Amino acid sequence: MAGNITYTMIKPDAVAAGNTGAIIKMIEEAGFRIVAMKMTKMSAETAGKFYAVHKERPFYADLCAYMSSGHIVPMILEKDNAVEDFRKLIGATNPANAEPGTIRKLFAKSIEANAIHGSDSDENANIEANFFFGAVDRF
């Protein structure tokens, strides 16, 4: 399955704004198949674990507070070349730099509240999918 799955989550700003459906529609129309999905909320502690790789960064505390501030929609997505193709679909971290038509350009509110997550490698896709859904080979 390596190379064929990525992990995403619709972030609290986009869920609260009522953009969950529109974002899922874009994901499906871009050829991704949703193989796992739920509506949930992280504690600040869970968010801290998920973003542990960023713990030395100046934005870490704010990011953990923000990511635990409301509901999120974690998903595992399947497609050839999933990680790279999905990063293209979501656009740059800072929506000011995101390409027109990308999910972040359309829906992000700021560099922090940027609507959606996308794994940055096959290895992290597996780690992140496992974090929310358990062993990915079930999917």
Active site residue 54: no
| Residue 112 sits in the site that holds ligand UDP (CB under 6 A) | yes
CA separation, residue 66 to residues 17, 36, 48, 122 (Å): 14, 24, 11, 26
Cα distance between residue 36 and residue 129, in whole Å:
9
| Residue 59 sits in the site that holds ligand UDP (CB under 6 A) | yes
Hey, which residues between 87 and 126 contact Mg ion (CB under 5 A)? Answer: 120
Q: Which residue out of 48, 117, 126, 129 is catalytically annotated?
A: 117
Cα distance between residue 83 and residue 4, in whole Å:
8
Q: 78, 85, 120, 122: which one contacts ligand UDP (CB under 6 A)? A: 120
Residues within the interface to Mg ion (CB under 5 A): 120
